[in-house]
Structure 1
Amino acid sequence: MRITAKEFAALLESRGTSAAPPASAKPRQARPRVNPGPPSVPTPPALGALLDGLDGAGRSWTLLMPYGELLTSNQRLHHMAEHRIRRRLRSEAEQMARARRLPQLDRAAVHYVLHPRPINRKRDPGNWAPTAKAYVDGLVDAGLLPDDNSAHLRGPYPEIGPPVSTGLARMSLVITELIAPSELR
Structure 2
Amino acid sequence: MTATETGRTVTVALPRLPRLNSNQRMHWSVWRRRTRLIRETAAWVTTSLREAPMERAQITAVIHPKTNARFDPHNLQPTVKAAIDGIVDARLLADDDSKRVVSVAFVAGEKDPAGPRIDLIVTEVV
Q: Which TM bucket (shorter chain)?
A: over 0.9
TM value normalised by structure 2 = 0.93
Structure 1 length normalisation: TM-score?
0.64
Q: CA shift at 1:117, angstroms?
A: 1.2
Contact preservation (8 Å) 1:132, 1:156: no
Match of 2:14 among 51, 65, 82: 65
Is 2:98 the partner of 1:150?
yes
Ranked by relative contact order (alpha carbons within 8 Å, sequence separation 6 or more), the top structure is 2
Comparing 58-67 with 87-96, which one deviates more in the overlay? 58-67
Q: Please, which of 122, 136, 145 is the counterpart of residue 84 of structure 2?
A: 136
SS in 2 for 1:109: strand
Q: Pick from 69, 73, 76: which aligns with 1:125?
A: 73
What is the count of residue pairs matched by the alignment?
A: 124
Q: Which runs of 5+ in 2 are unaligned?
A: none
Q: In structure 2, what is the Cα distance between the partners aligned to 1:170 and 1:155?
A: 21
- Residue by residue over 1:40-91, the C-alpha shift from the partner in whole angstroms, topping out at 9 and shown as x without a partner, is xxxxxxxxxxxxxx83201012121101111100111110001000000000
> Could you tell me whether the CA contact under 8 Å between 1:91 and 1:138 is conserved in 2?
yes
Conservation of the 8 A alpha-carbon contact between 1:117 and 1:163: yes
Identity over aligned pairs, percent: 35
Structure with the higher strand share, 1 or 2: 2
What is the SS of the residue equivalent to 1:110? strand
2:32 corresponds to which of 72, 83, 88: 83
Could you tell me which residue of structure 2 aligns to residue 173 of structure 1?
A: 120
1:103 positional shift: 1.1
User: Structure 1 regions of 5+ residues with no counterpart?
Assistant: 1-53, 180-185
Counterpart among 99, 106, 109 of residue 161 in structure 1 = 109
RMSD: 1.2
Other-structure match for 1:100 = 49
